[in-house]
Amino acid sequence: MEKAKNNLKKPIWLKYTEQEIKEIILKLVEKDASLTSEKIGLILRDNYGIPQTKIYGFSISDVLKEAGKYEQPDQKNLKIKVEKLEKHLSKHKHDTRTGRSIIISKAKLKKVQDYLKA
Q: What is the pLDDT of residues 29-66, one digit of tens each?
A: 999 888 888 999 999 999 998 888 888 888 999 999 99
Length of the chain: 118
pLDDT at 1 over 90: no
pLDDT digits (tens, 9 = 90+) for 102-114: 999 999 999 999 9
d(CA 40, CA 44): 6
pLDDT at 67 over 60: yes
d(CA 28, CA 36): 10
d(CA 63, CA 30): 13
Higher per-residue confidence, 40 vs 8: 40
